[in-house]
């Protein structure tokens, strides 16, 4: 199941906020719609956000009526600026925008050549993402043994174009004939684990058991879980991993219980420049915590925190799996 | 706000499953209604369950038409058996039933004398619970300093007759003039933190910030929380604390971040007999995890775990506060 597609100047993407109840496809003809979908987490997952942003630039190029190179680039810069502003923490967004824009800047020739190159580059990013995930799966699958129960957090399948990062490793292990069971954290506040990961595992026929985020300690202390694999929204040179809120707690608990904690991500999630002190953790609207399905769970007047991500220091990370291989967190710069 | 009252052969209790949306009072004229309310967590919190069970026996005594002592005791044993079967983990239930039944067995004289003694004993348990909580508050409040941000899990206010255990300490600290802010975990799957604790804190004008259970690591790593206080459903001689699912994770994370982790409970929560290996963790219906506010969140065919409690080993517990004082977990038998 592809999370996103390009079709003749239209980007078609699964509305991930509606799953598993409804299978709704968004049809987006301009970058503003893409930006809105990213902000509202209808399109989500760091790799997929990068892909969607690249396609957003492609949409602007495709539909532009600019007569001059300057005119086109004005539109492109406006597109890039809006897309950049959607979500601050995942780095693939900035990586993908930069990559497509660089391609545009370096393309000489007429406007049509620039447009064509940009669209090509964006579509290349789409296809690469699928291949990267297959490579991550291949690199990581031997970490899982027959009979393993693997805990995963949030959703790393539909958060990519196809196949997934952490989920790609689980899928590769199953494909190679190993019996794997998955424990899925529901991942409040947006319930990506409960809504999306179970949906994908069910589709693949991989046994899945849902737990609340509060059951992490219980499943580890009771030896229900053998390994943890999660994705990443940004990995720093220092080996710090930024990922969905709750990841840090899982990593610490895994360490305390002697359970390996693996992170799976494409090398486009690696950020060699930013220091952990300067990383921006997106703070989303507290209403996501105060409500469920639009219904209030806490009384009016109560405040809430809603950081979308947390930071896991490298000492809690057993290894990071990218399309280039398996790396100790301290050696992650070798993966770029 | 009293969570439970006895009025002329009727037990009136807040329906805690409806809060904060609706303030509904259950009026229960027999022990079966009490048992159902406990099972469905309309009446909840280890101390309150104990109180409700005692009142369940009182209801049977009050309404009994038995002509003989044997007839009355047959009814009482049936009542006791059903109430005992409601929830296995919290120990106050068994303690309260035992206490009222012992009183009955040792009361000589006619049936009316037995009935009267039992009702008196049950009402004594109600009143004692309020006094115990005030004593716990007094004993524990000096552990909190002016300006502290205290994290609490689940609900320990309405889980008692009045005032609360962990919440009683927070209330006592505020009453003594200290400025205290509270971080409240939502406490999935039943959301007692989001629904009940915020409701009580708002009522008292104590600043409350709601977080999801997945944000534990975030608030601790970011030094948002100074101390943790939780309640307990059962405390073993070894110092192991059984409490709402999620407590163990919070305790481990607190230790990792050098944050004191306090447990507040009446001495009726202490169980000197049971070994940690033999403790029964109540496994509730997975539907509570598979749904949120009654709405399905995961696809059909997905399984879920739903342990209602977890076990926190004594090495993670800074101190236990009871009505008798403050105890190291290893010395908790001194509190009985």
Instruction: Indicate the residue of B188, B216, B245 with minimum beta-carbon distance to A249.
Output: B216
CA angle B183, B188, B191 (to 5 degrees): 70
DSSP states of B17-49 as a string?
A: TTTTT---EEEE-SHHHHHHHHHTTSS-SHHHH
pLDDT, one tens digit per residue, over B254-266 is 999 999 999 999 9
Provide the token pair at B257: 């971040």
Q: How large is the greatest C-alpha to C-alpha distance in chain A, in angstroms?
A: 66
What's the complex ipTM?
Answer: 0.96
Touching check for B323 and chain A: CB below 8 Å? no
* CB-based contact B132:B51 (threshold 8 Å): no
CA B11 to chain CA centroid, nearest Å? 18
Query: Tokens 């950049």 map to which residue?
Result: A84
Task: Determine how many CB atoms are found less than 10 A away from the CB of residue B272.
Answer: 11
Provide the token pair at B29: 């004229």
What pLDDT sits at residue A139?
A: 98
What pLDDT sits at residue A294?
A: 81
For residue B55, CA distances in Å to A72, A106, A225, B112, B127 come to 78, 81, 42, 17, 12
Backbone angles phi, psi at A231, to 5 degrees: -90, -165
As a whole number of angstroms, the distance between CA B22 and CA B4 comes to 16
Find the length of chain A. Answer: 336
Label the pairing between strands A303-304 and B208-211. parallel
Q: Check whether the bond before A189 is cis (ω within 30° of 0).
A: yes
pLDDT, one tens digit per residue, over A56-72 is 999 999 999 999 999 99
B92-105 vs B111-140: helix axis angle to the nearest 10? 140
One digit per residue, the tens of pLDDT, for chain A of length 336 reads 899 999 999 999 999 999 999 999 999 999 999 999 999 999 999 999 999 999 999 999 999 999 999 999 999 999 999 999 999 999 999 999 999 999 999 998 899 999 999 999 999 999 999 999 999 999 999 999 999 999 999 999 999 999 999 999 999 999 999 999 999 999 999 999 999 999 999 999 999 999 999 999 999 999 999 999 999 999 999 999 999 999 999 999 999 999 999 999 999 999 999 999 999 999 999 999 999 878 899 999 999 999 999 999 999 999 999 999 999 999 999 998
Show Cβ contacts of residue A294 under 8 Å, excluding neighbours closer than 6 positions.
none
As a whole number of angstroms, the distance between CA B28 and CA B10 comes to 6
Q: Which of A299, A306, A307 to probe by mutation at the B interface, max B CB count within 10 Å?
A: A299
Instruction: Give contacts of B 286-315 with A, CB under 8 A.
Output: 286, 289-290, 292-293, 295-299, 301-305, 307, 310-311
DSSP states of B103-152 as a string?
A: HHHT--S-HHHHHHHHHHHHHHHHHHHHHHHHHHHHHHGGGS-TT-EEEE
Show Cβ contacts of residue A240 under 8 Å, excluding neighbours closer than 6 positions.
A276, A279, A311, A312, A313, A314, A329
* CB-based contact A312:A241 (threshold 8 Å): yes
Touching check for A218 and chain B: CB below 8 Å? yes
A233 is catalytic: yes
- CB contact under 8 Å between A218 and B187, yes or no, is no
């Amino acid at each position: 199941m592809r999370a996103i597609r390009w079709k003749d100047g239209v980007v078609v993407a699964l509305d991930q906020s509606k799953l598993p109840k409804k299978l709704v496809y968004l049809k987006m003809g301009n970058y503003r719609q893409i930006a809105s979908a990213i902000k509202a987490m209808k399109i989500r997952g760091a790799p997929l956000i990068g892909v969607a942003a690249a396609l957003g630039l492609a949409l602007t190029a495709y539909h532009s009526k600019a007569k001059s190179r300057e005119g086109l680039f004005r539109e492109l810069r406006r597109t890039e600026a809006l897309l950049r502003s959607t979500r601050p923490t995942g780095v693939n967004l900035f990586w993908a925008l930069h990559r497509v824009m660089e391609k545009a800047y370096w393309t000489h020739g007429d406007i049509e050549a620039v447009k064509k190159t940009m669209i090509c580059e964006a579509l290349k990013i789409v296809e690469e993402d699928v291949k990267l995930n297959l490579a991550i799966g291949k690199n990581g699958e031997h970490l899982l043994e027959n009979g393993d129960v693997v805990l995963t957090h949030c959703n790393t399948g539909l958060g990519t174009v196809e196949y997934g990062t952490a989920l790609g490793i689980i899928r590769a292990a199953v494909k190679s004939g190993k019996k794997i069971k998955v424990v899925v954290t529901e991942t409040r506040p947006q319930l990506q684990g409960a809504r999306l990961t179970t949906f994908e595992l069910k589709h693949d026929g991989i046994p899945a058991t849902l737990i609340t985020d509060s059951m992490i300690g219980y499943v580890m202390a009771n030896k229900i879980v053998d390994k943890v694999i999660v994705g990443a929204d940004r990995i720093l040179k220092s080996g710090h991993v930024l990922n969905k809120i709750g990841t840090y707690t899982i990593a610490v608990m895994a360490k305390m219980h002697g359970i390996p904690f693996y992170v799976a991500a494409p090398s486009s999630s690696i950020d060699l420049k930013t220091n952990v002190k300067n990383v921006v953790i997106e703070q989303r609207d507290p209403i996501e915590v105060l409500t469920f399905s639009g219904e209030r769970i806490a009384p009016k007047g109560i405040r809430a925190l809603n950081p979308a991500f947390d930071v896991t220091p490298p000492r809690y990370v057993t290894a990071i799996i990218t399309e280039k291989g398996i790396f100790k967190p301290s050696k992650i710069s070798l993966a770029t």
